[in-house]
Amino acid sequence: MPETSAQSETTKPAANAETGKKIFIKTYGCQMNVYDSTRMSDALAPQGYTETQDITDADLVILNTCHIREKAAEKVYSEIGRIRKMRDARGAGAKQMTIGVAGCVAQAEGEEIIKRAPIVDLVFGPQSYHRLPSLLKDVEAGKSVVETEFPEEDKFKHLPAAKASVTRARGFTAFLTVQEGCDKFCTFCVVPYTRGAEVSRPVSAIVDEARALVAAGVCEITLLGQNVNAYHGSSDKGGIWGLGQLLEELAKIDGLARLRYTTSHPRDMDDALIAAHRDIPQVMPYLHLPVQSGSDRILAAMNRRHTRAEYFELVDKIRAGRPDLALSGDFIVGFPGESDADFADTMSLIRDVEYAQAYSFKYSPRPGTPAASHEDQISNELSSERLLELQTLLTEQQIAFNASKMDSTMDVLLERKGRETGQLTGRSAWLQAVHIDAPETLIGTIQPVRITGVTKNSLSGQLITG
């Protein structure tokens, strides 16, 4: 899933200054990691931990890591190097600092991390976050802890009780994990190995968490899953529900104005989900639907299990019900064996589909994945050339999409103060950042705005009053 949007690295904001221990969490990778970092902090709050933004003040540092591409994984080791220097500079007598590595690098590399970086005290994978307090006790007892087992049952133990999110909700938008893991095994991807098999949370747990978030002031929820539209959760009302039915249920929650979900696989867009885009006003007209390549040969080699024509058909079908749908996608260039003709097919697919936004990457061979041992690896030089050409086209499309909103009126969820005095920043239905002049009292509300300016990355406009 949006490791896409996974480019970001986030540190969590400081919580109330309390006495007691301080935790600093640095998050890499996709939105699921962002969500999980909050879960870790939840799990430690009862132990007296509060969050700090100042790493030098932390008793516990957790790096919540991403393994999707080599660069993402290597970032962890450079960060550990920086932490070691910082800790050494504190000198003797300074307080102890425990260092933990969580997330997908932890899951993939396990004890190798401690071998390579002995300063690390604790390595733990995404399935063990609920056990963090007890793992830390083992560390305090002088053990070096590596916990990367996948539990046989109750894979969602590490997810929160609904109450936890009430205290944790900050702001007006929130993530909510509904599904984890992936069974697709695309030949380039580590996720099925780092996150394990697909599991869906029961409907009632999701609805409870959504209600708690709304009660805490949230009005937009993004449902998360590595393969979110493969969701198939059990319902108290009977049977197994797909994502379309889940969205319908969530849309009944008063005060929940906007629903999104990410990331979807084209193979799992069923009719009920397509209908949800047409019929449920709360479901936003924006869909991240990665295709990776426009070449049938490469799609097959990637094990994506659909063709270029099937992707076009799907896009047409969704747009038929929701003509204003904005599409976003992920692309990989330089997959082993990608010829000029294959790349040209990707470019032509992009031209035909017209994306509002997209993420694109050079293929990065990942240890243990089938494509990594493919003989026909593409040179870095050629991949760079292709990436530049592809990104140039995607940027043009993004600018064109933003420009198409000029002079229109749209609803904007005003989320926070903007950079300039008197300015607020919010999001359009299509996930564009929108800047307007408006009083702070409107933060947390959805307002009609007339768009008077567009750039590559944002829109600006005026509040429509009266």
CA distance 414 to 412: 6
CA distance 415 to 427: 7
Which of 355, 361 has the CB closer to ligand SAH?
361
- Residue 36 in contact with ligand SAH, rule: CB under 6 A: no
Out of 182, 318, 371, 413, the only residue in the binding site for ligand SF4 (CB under 6 A) is 182
Name the E strands within 97-157.
98-102, 122-124, 145-147
Near ligand SF4 by CB under 6 A, which window of 181-189, 247-255, 341-349, 420-428? Answer: 181-189
Shortest approach of ligand F3S to residue 72 CB, angstroms? 6
Shortest approach of ligand SAH to residue 189 CB, angstroms? 4
- Residue 186 in contact with ligand SF4, rule: CB under 6 A: yes
Which of 220, 330 has the CB closer to ligand F3S?
330
Per-residue binder mask for ligand F3S (CB under 6 A), 78-107, x = binder? -------------------------xx---
- Contact partner, 357, from ligand SAH, ligand SF4, ligand F3S, none, Cβ < 5-8 Å per class: none
Near ligand SAH by CB under 6 A, which window of 184-192, 210-218, 415-423, 439-447? Answer: 184-192
DSSP secondary structure code for residue 126 in this structure:
G
Near ligand SAH by CB under 6 A, which window of 14-22, 199-207, 358-366, 450-458? Answer: 358-366
290 alpha carbon, distance to own chain's centre: 13
Out of 39, 184, 258, 405, the only residue in the binding site for ligand SF4 (CB under 6 A) is 184
- Residue 293 in contact with ligand SAH, rule: CB under 6 A: no
Out of 24, 175, 188, 401, the only residue in the binding site for ligand SAH (CB under 6 A) is 188
Out of 25, 224, 332, 424, the only residue in the binding site for ligand SAH (CB under 6 A) is 332
HSE of 301, CA atoms in CB hemisphere, 13 A: 22
The H or E element spanning position 398 is: helix 380-403
Q: Which residues contact 101 (CB under 8 A, 6 or more apart)?
A: 62, 63, 65, 76, 80, 113, 120, 122, 123, 124
CA distance 109 to 200: 26
- Residue 1 in contact with ligand SAH, rule: CB under 6 A: yes
Out of 63, 191, 298, 454, the only residue in the binding site for ligand SF4 (CB under 6 A) is 191
CA distance 68 to 188: 9
Out of 150, 185, 193, 312, the only residue in the binding site for ligand SF4 (CB under 6 A) is 185
The SS3 call for residue 249 is helix
Nearest to 97 by CA among 112, 109, 111, 80: 80
Total site size for ligand SAH, rule CB under 6 A: 21
414: left (phi over 0), alpha (psi -120 to 50) or beta: beta
Shortest approach of ligand SAH to residue 68 CB, angstroms? 5
Q: Which residues contact 406 (CB under 8 A, 6 or more apart)?
A: 451, 452, 453, 454
CA distance 333 to 410: 35
**Please, which of residues 340-399 interact with ligand F3S by CB under 6 A?**
none
- Residue 227 in contact with ligand SF4, rule: CB under 6 A: yes
Shortest approach of ligand SAH to residue 404 CB, angstroms? 25
Out of 22, 26, 29, 75, the only residue in the binding site for ligand F3S (CB under 6 A) is 29
CA distance 272 to 258: 18
Residue 399 burial class via C-beta count within 10 angstroms: exposed 0-12, middle 13-18, buried 19 and up: middle
HSE of 243, CA atoms in CB hemisphere, 13 A: 29
Q: Binding residues for ligand SF4, per CB under 6 A?
A: 182, 184-186, 189, 191-192, 226-227, 265
Q: Binding residues for ligand SAH, per CB under 6 A?
A: 1, 3-4, 68-69, 182, 188-189, 191, 226-227, 263, 265, 290, 292, 330, 332, 361, 363-364, 366
